[in-house]
Amino acid sequence: MREEVLRMERVTYREQGVTLLENFSMTIWKGEIPGLVPVNHFGLSALVRLLRQNLPLHYGYVYYKERLVNDWRLPCPAMNRISVIQNKSCLAEGLTVADNIFVLRPGFKKRLMQPRILNEQLQPFLEDIGVDIQADAYIEDLTIFERFAVELLKAVVAGNHLVVLEDVSTFISAEELGRLRAILRHYADQGMSFLYIAAHFEEARQVCGRTALMLNGQITKCFRASDKAPDTFYMHCTEDFDRHVREQMESREKPEEKQIVFEAEDLGFRVARGECLVIQDLDNCMIQELIPVLSGETRQRSRQILINGTPFTGKHDRRMAIIQELPTRSMLFPNMSYLDNLCFTLDHRIRGVWGSGHIKKVSAGSTQSLWGRMCLICRWRN
């Protein structure tokens, strides 16, 4: 008889009056790797939070290891023994691999630690999955795939029965993804369960026995690995998005083909004025090298980049701006006002703008006017 690891039964979850999950039901069995494909990512973050912690439910029940852990009538905000592996690592930098796996796990009570013994205890786990990582290596020196492997080993050592992997294929190469899938199947054979969240149906069915389609906070369809997705599968999933994109493209002016504002000669692509270019890096290798070059952190070497027909000079070239990942955390100064955040890099356009109170006051009025117009546009579209 199969053992049940997780069951979410008719769960409805709301935050600030917004229903993020509605009548959501899902069951994960021991030793299983089910897939989840979110069409629009609505409610996905709420689902991951609910798996980690028993937040108050509007309705429904959550069972973990065949025990009721969350109930809409009597909520208990406790943490579940479920690990989540995402792009944002949960490992502590400044500590070694062995420290993260053994010392930081729940229930570790020793006060005196012997690194040699921890390293010896970790070695069998590394050999079991065929990963060559030094136990005394620091987390900041590891590759992305090695960090994923360490987080997985941390879940194994902690005794967690369920591991959630969210969009891991977007951060590692195809070869590393194949190695990761082999590790997942190895631990699944030993009784661990995994929830594999992927952006593409074809990716999920390569490793998952069954795959569920999530749309607007609900499970709308389930597919077995042997089932063939209908020809209209992707059309129904992306119909609203495609229609919205077409309307936006038809309403805007076409870019002038002859007016090229950005060109990467070695890479063979260019961007025209008024154009938006999307680059998909299938093996996650080019972006990691391109972003430091565009931001001026590394030199171009043989790669020639032109902006408005003239070479890109590097870090101090204000003609190009890079919006980093999680920009609200990595590119804004919380101890400064929003106006200071806007003005302190404008000296190359308006001399003395940051130090002049009069200019900043005029700029504040213009910014508020622009913000008001944006709000009116958003209300009109909605």
Using pLDDT thresholds of 50, 70 and 90, give the confidence band for residue 377: very low
**Which has the closest alpha carbon to 152: 124, 183, 177, 182?**
183
For the ranges 110-119, 226-235, 271-280, 360-369, the one whose mean pLDDT is highest: 271-280
Report the distance separating Cα 213 and Cα 219, nearest Å: 6
The token pair that represents 92 in the structure block: 């502590």
pLDDT tens across 15-56, in order?
888 999 999 999 999 999 999 998 888 899 999 999 988 999
CB 63 within 8 A of CB 237: no
Using the 8-state DSSP alphabet, how is residue 382 labeled?
-
DSSP bridge partners of 272 = 260
**Sequence ranges of the domains in the chain:** 4-230, 256-330, 332-382
CATH 3.40.50.300, applies to 4-230? yes
**Given this model, what pLDDT does residue 137 score?**
85
Instruction: Indicate the pTM of the whole model.
Output: 0.64
Mean pLDDT, the chain, integer: 79
Neighbours of 153 (CB within 10 A): 23
**Given this model, what pLDDT does residue 300 score?**
58
CB 40 within 8 A of CB 213: no
pLDDT tens across 94-149, in order?
888 888 888 766 655 555 567 777 778 888 888 888 888 888 888 888 888 888 88
pLDDT tens across 180-211, in order?
889 999 999 999 999 999 888 888 888 888 99
Percent of the chain with pLDDT over 70: 75
| CA-derived radius of gyration, the chain | 25
**Which has the closest alpha carbon to 217: 18, 11, 22, 54?**
22
Give the contacts of 349 (CB within 8 A, at least 6 positions apart): none
**Given this model, what pLDDT does residue 269 score?**
81
For the ranges 203-207, 213-217, 247-251, 309-313, the one whose mean pLDDT is highest: 213-217
Using the 8-state DSSP alphabet, how is residue 172 labeled?
S
**Given this model, what pLDDT does residue 10 score?**
93
The token pair that represents 188 in the structure block: 């699944």
**Which has the closest alpha carbon to 7: 64, 52, 72, 49?**
64
Q: Say whether 34 sits in a helix, a strand or coil.
A: coil
